[in-house]
């Protein structure tokens, strides 16, 4: 995207998505029975797959995780007091650093916060989430990265016993990740009988976007250069595009639980993978049938099998299309990357949600929207937001090959109009930042999408440090 294009989005804004309705059970969200779940897992075991990989977005420091603790560093607040009162329950607790606070006095709180965030303490305020100690066991302490290794061996093994992980990190954190990996890789390979293939990948600087002032003029640094910033997780579509494996599981670095939750986590990852492969194979069947059919035969196939499939299975309503154009129209709808997204019931957690969107060509599609992408001045959009029953925990399975075995070029399926503008600051000065279409939002806008309900027990993010006191992390 050129600088002129970026400035145009700042000055004119991104167009609002045309929300038709929230995706709910019965229209957009599949709620499987236990028997259907078992069937999906069985399908996973039989389907042909050219390699699997676990894709883990882990870029950036954990500064937002400790925002409240930074806020109480000098003058203790409620978050710092709760941290201090419970410090011995955290996996990162070290008696030599923290001692045994006898009360949540200001002195104890200040010491606790400084020991956690600063050097020569743990220095967690500037480290990435992936290398932080999340969970304590009887015989070891695990980082978030270590928990992803344990998860991966349970549901992402390839036929040769290997487990592939692609982890997106910042270049400045590579040494920290390599150290955290070296501490556990050999031990876990022996324990679980696997071979881990780990690839660290960086968000390309070429995807950075310019920042502007509140008046939408380029934001100039002290040296006179225009400030450029990382453009959000949507830039990772290029990292995903570099993946060679066909089947990809995507889950954020902080969404892990202690190992006793692994059976339910693994079961529903396998359910999602089975659903994705079943959807892939049905789509491939239709595309191969279209290739083999004559003109009239292809038209009848499109009308009586493909259109009902798109409408009933993928919530894609087909507008009035002339017969002579219908076959290629539905082919265009089918021949796309596949994603199956787990959705959990809306319990008030932050995050995007599933919606049915009206496209420019008159069709509908299933999309994940963040609240900032919803026009709060549109009563219909607000009503859809308020009546949503589920939200997005970032629990995806993707199929990245077409029906002829070729890799899709994923940037071709991005909706560039699905980005958004956010308010930030730099060196105490306000600015506006341009976020590229999010990885599971507009970057996958033109994919074939299926939403499947998964239990809330599979969603255990650590957005703030005090989340580590929840049962899933103890």
pLDDT, averaged across the chain: 94
Confidence class of residue 352 from pLDDT cuts 50, 70 and 90?
confident
CA distance 292 to 375: 45
Give the three-class secondary structure for 299. helix
Kindly report which listed range (148-157, 176-185, 340-349) carries the lowest average pLDDT score: 340-349
Instruction: Please name which of 220, 166, 260 lies closest in space to residue 427, comparing C-alpha atoms.
Output: 220
C-alpha dihedral over 110, 115, 116, 121, to 10 degrees? Answer: 160
**β-strand 338-345 against 390-391: which pairing, if any?**
antiparallel
The predicted structure's pLDDT at residue 68: 94
The predicted structure's pLDDT at residue 390: 95
Mean pLDDT to the nearest integer, 5-25: 92
Mean pLDDT to the nearest integer, 84-93: 96
Mean pLDDT to the nearest integer, 131-146: 97
Confidence class of residue 132 from pLDDT cuts 50, 70 and 90?
very high
CA distance 163 to 427: 42
- φ, ψ (nearest 5 deg) of residue 452: -130, 130
The predicted structure's pLDDT at residue 63: 84
Angle between helices 307-314 and 323-334 (to 10 degrees): 40
* Angle formed at CA 60 by CA 59 and CA 62, multiple of 5 degrees: 125
Confidence class of residue 192 from pLDDT cuts 50, 70 and 90?
very high
The predicted structure's pLDDT at residue 113: 95
Instruction: Please name which of 401, 335, 333 lies closest in space to residue 366, comparing C-alpha atoms.
Output: 333
Domain ranges of the chain: 3-62+130-473, 64-126
The predicted structure's pLDDT at residue 298: 97
Q: Does residue 82 register a pLDDT over 60?
A: yes
Query: pLDDT (tens digit, 9 = 90+) per residue, 241-296?
Result: 999 999 999 999 999 999 999 999 999 999 999 999 999 999 999 999 999 998 99
Query: pLDDT (tens digit, 9 = 90+) per residue, 61-72?
Result: 788 899 999 999
CA distance 152 to 31: 25
Confidence class of residue 158 from pLDDT cuts 50, 70 and 90?
very high
**CATH fold group of domain 3-62+130-473:** Spore Coat Polysaccharide Biosynthesis Protein SpsA; Chain A (3.90.550)
Containing 452, the helix (H) or strand (E) segment is: strand 448-453
Whether 337 and 413 have beta carbons less than 8 Å apart is answered as yes
Percentage of the chain modeled with pLDDT above 70: 99
Report the predicted TM-score, pTM, of the whole model to 2 decimal places. 0.94
The predicted structure's pLDDT at residue 371: 83
Confidence class of residue 231 from pLDDT cuts 50, 70 and 90?
confident
Q: Does residue 103 register a pLDDT over 80?
A: no
Percentage of the chain modeled with pLDDT above 90: 83
Whether 370 and 438 have beta carbons less than 8 Å apart is answered as yes
Instruction: Please name which of 149, 127, 170, 150 lies closest in space to residue 465, comparing C-alpha atoms.
Output: 127
264 contact partners, CB below 8 Å, separation of at least 6: 455, 457, 458
Q: Does residue 349 register a pLDDT over 70?
A: no
Determine how many CB atoms are found less than 10 A away from the CB of residue 50. Answer: 12
Instruction: Please name which of 344, 338, 412, 304 lies closest in space to residue 49, comparing C-alpha atoms.
Output: 338
Q: Does residue 185 register a pLDDT over 90?
A: yes
Whether 116 and 92 have beta carbons less than 8 Å apart is answered as yes
Core vs surface per residue 122-154: b (16+ CB within 10 A) or e: bebbebbbbbbbbbbeeeeebbbbbbbbbbbbb
Whether 388 and 346 have beta carbons less than 8 Å apart is answered as yes
Kindly report which listed range (14-28, 82-96, 340-354, 423-437) carries the lowest average pLDDT score: 340-354
Instruction: Please name which of 380, 391, 388, 357 lies closest in space to residue 24, comparing C-alpha atoms.
Output: 388
Angle between helices 185-192 and 144-155 (to 10 degrees): 30
354 contact partners, CB below 8 Å, separation of at least 6: 22, 23, 28, 29, 341, 343, 366, 367, 368, 388, 390, 391, 392, 451
CA distance 397 to 447: 12
Query: pLDDT (tens digit, 9 = 90+) per residue, 410-460?
Result: 999 999 999 989 888 887 789 999 989 999 999 999 999 999 999 999 999
The predicted structure's pLDDT at residue 117: 96
């Amino acid at each position: 995207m050129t600088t002129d294009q970026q400035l145009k989005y700042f000055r004119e804004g991104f167009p609002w998505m045309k929300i038709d309705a929230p995706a709910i059970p019965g229209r957009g969200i599949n709620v499987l029975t236990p028997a259907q779940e078992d069937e999906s897992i069985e399908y996973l075991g039989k389907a042909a797959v050219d390699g699997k990989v676990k894709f883990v977005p882990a870029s950036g420091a954990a500064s937002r995780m400790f925002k409240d603790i930074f806020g109480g560093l000098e003058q203790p607040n409620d978050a710092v007091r709760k941290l201090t009162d419970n410090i011995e329950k955290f996996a990162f607790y070290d008696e030599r650093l923290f001692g045994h606070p006898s009360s949540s006095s200001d002195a104890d709180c200040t010491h606790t916060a400084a020991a956690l965030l600063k050097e020569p303490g743990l220095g967690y305020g500037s480290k990435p989430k992936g290398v932080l100690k999340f969970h304590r066991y009887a015989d070891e302490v695990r980082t978030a990265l270590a928990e992803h290794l344990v998860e991966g061996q349970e549901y992402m093994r390839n036929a040769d016993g290997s487990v592939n992980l692609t982890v997106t990190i910042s270049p400045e954190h590579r040494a920290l990740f390599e150290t955290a990996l070296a501490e556990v890789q050999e031990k876990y390979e022996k324990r679980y009988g696997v071979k881990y293939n780990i690839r660290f990948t960086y968000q390309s600087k070429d995807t950075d976007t310019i920042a502007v002032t509140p008046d939408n003029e380029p934001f100039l640094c002290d040296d006179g250069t225009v400030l450029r910033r990382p453009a959000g997780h949507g830039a990772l579509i290029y990292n995903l595009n570099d993946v060679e494996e066909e089947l990809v599981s995507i889950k954020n670095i902080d969404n892990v639980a202690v190992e006793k939750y692994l059976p339910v986590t693994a079961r529903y990852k396998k359910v999602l993978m089975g659903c994705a492969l079943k959807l892939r194979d049905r789509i491939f069947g239709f595309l191969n049938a279209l290739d083999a059919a004559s003109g009239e035969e292809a038209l009848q196939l499109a009308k009586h099998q493909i259109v009902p499939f798109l409408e009933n299975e993928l919530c894609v309503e087909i507008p009035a299309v002339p017969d002579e154009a219908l076959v290629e129209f539905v082919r265009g709808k089918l021949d796309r990357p596949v994603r199956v997204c787990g959705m959990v019931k809306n319990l008030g957690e932050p995050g995007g949600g599933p919606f049915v969107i009206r496209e420019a060509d008159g069709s509908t599609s299933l999309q994940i929207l963040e609240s900032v992408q919803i026009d709060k001045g549109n009563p219909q959009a607000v009503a859809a937001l308020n009546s949503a029953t589920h939200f997005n925990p970032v629990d995806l399975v993707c199929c990245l090959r077409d029906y002829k075995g070729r890799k899709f070029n994923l940037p071709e399926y991005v909706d560039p109009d699905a980005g958004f503008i956010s308010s930030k600051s730099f060196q105490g000065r306000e600015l506006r930042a341009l976020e590229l279409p999010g990885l599971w939002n507009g970057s996958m806008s033109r994919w074939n999408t299926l939403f499947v309900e998964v239990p809330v027990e599979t969603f255990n993010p650590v957005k703030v440090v005090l989340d580590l006191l929840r049962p899933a992390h103890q």
